[in-house]
Amino acid sequence: MSIKIIPQKQLEQQASNSVIRQIPLLFFPSPQNIYVHRAKRLKTLATNNQFNDYLSFCAQIVELQANLAKQNSVNVDLSHLLNDKYPPLSLNNLPLSNVWQEYLNNLLSSITATTEQIALVIEQLKQNTAQQLHDKALHLLNGKFDCVDGNEALFIWSSLSVYYSQLASQIKGKAIAESTDKNCLCPVCNSMPVASIIQLGSNNGLRYLHCSLCESEWYVPRIKCTTCDNMKDIQYFSLDVELSATKTECCDACHSYLKILDQDKDPHIEIIADDIASLILDIKTEEEGFAKSGMNPFIFAQ
């Protein structure tokens, strides 16, 4: 099942399976709330985690994202982007503007507690021209992560996320289900997911993927590989107990995995924060021969 967004006024004209229509297929983000909650969770996790220094640094970045979303809001009419063959915020539909670079400049100027390495990265980014930054952003948005230094990518993606999450929050449309099986990329901006989450109080334990860029969440059935749609031989790994709130969902068909986090087991879970805090689970899962199919914007591979 794939998901398509159409204008609200056209929803009644669309034919869709009546059972599927009862399921909330897509949740658009509330940027300020997301970043505030994420920063709080990162600080909490940092108090008792071997990655405490890095979690604290991430919390500082996220707090700055929250301030940018609050103080420098973006307002764009996106109605003309809906009901097309591409996700509305994908590069095919909406070419990248330079608005996000204003967020990057503010972000780089606002960071206080830094190491010598971070200070060097910040200075390198400040020396980039607008065109160089634009090119690096396009590399990242097109999934060419190895074309951009991972340390620079963290700041660039954080700024892009503030921009795209605000655009996503302004979409006035509804999601409908289509017949093809394409779950792995965000139906709003066409980016990779971070992980999947079972939302607190979700009816019948519905699972949603969380976008690494625009922060939207979209429905994908449980016990199904989000990469190849395989529904057989799905394994689950956790570090401690079988009923752990954080597991990896592993596919024996394509040998990919993605974390699944359950807020019903831990209501305080925040998908990006808890993904970072459980890096040991990634290491153990990859030792079993599985490759991660998602992307955390605070953990760019080199």
User: Is the pLDDT score of 209 beyond 80?
Assistant: yes
- So where are the chain's domains? 31-169, 181-292
Q: Does the fold of domain 181-292 match that of domain 31-169?
A: yes
Alpha-carbon distance of 302 to 294, in angstroms, equals 15
187 close to 5: Cβ distance less than 8 angstroms? yes
Alpha-carbon distance of 302 to 42, in angstroms, equals 23
Average pLDDT over residues 197-212: 85
Q: Give, in order, the Cα–Cα distances in Å from 120 to each of 54, 108, 114, 256.
A: 17, 11, 10, 35
45 close to 270: Cβ distance less than 8 angstroms? no
User: Is the pLDDT score of 83 beyond 80?
Assistant: no
pLDDT score, position 231: 87
Please, what is the average pLDDT of the chain? 89
Percent of the chain at pLDDT exceeding 70: 90
Does domain 181-292 fall into CATH 3.90.1670.10?
yes
pLDDT, tens only, 243-299: 689 999 999 999 999 999 999 899 999 999 999 999 999 999 999 999 999 999 999
Number of neighbouring beta carbons within 10 Å of residue 115: 10
Instruction: State which amino acid sits at residue 119.
Output: A
| Residue scoring higher pLDDT (9 or 228) | 228
Q: Among all chains, which residue has been given the structure tokens 């952003």?
A: 137
Of 23, 25, 1, the residue nearest 229 (C-alpha): 1
pLDDT score, position 178: 74
User: Is the pLDDT score of 43 beyond 60?
Assistant: yes
Q: Which CATH class is domain 31-169?
A: alpha beta
Q: Residue 112: exposed, middle, or buried by beta-carbon count in 10 A (0-12, 13-18, 19+)?
A: exposed
pLDDT, tens only, 165-189: 999 999 988 888 776 556 789 999 9
Q: Among all chains, which residue has been given the structure tokens 């929050």?
A: 169
* 124-156 b/e (C-beta count within 10 Å ≥ 16 → b): ebeebeeeebbebbebbbeeebeebeebbbbbb
Q: Which two tokens stand for residue 75?
A: 């307002």
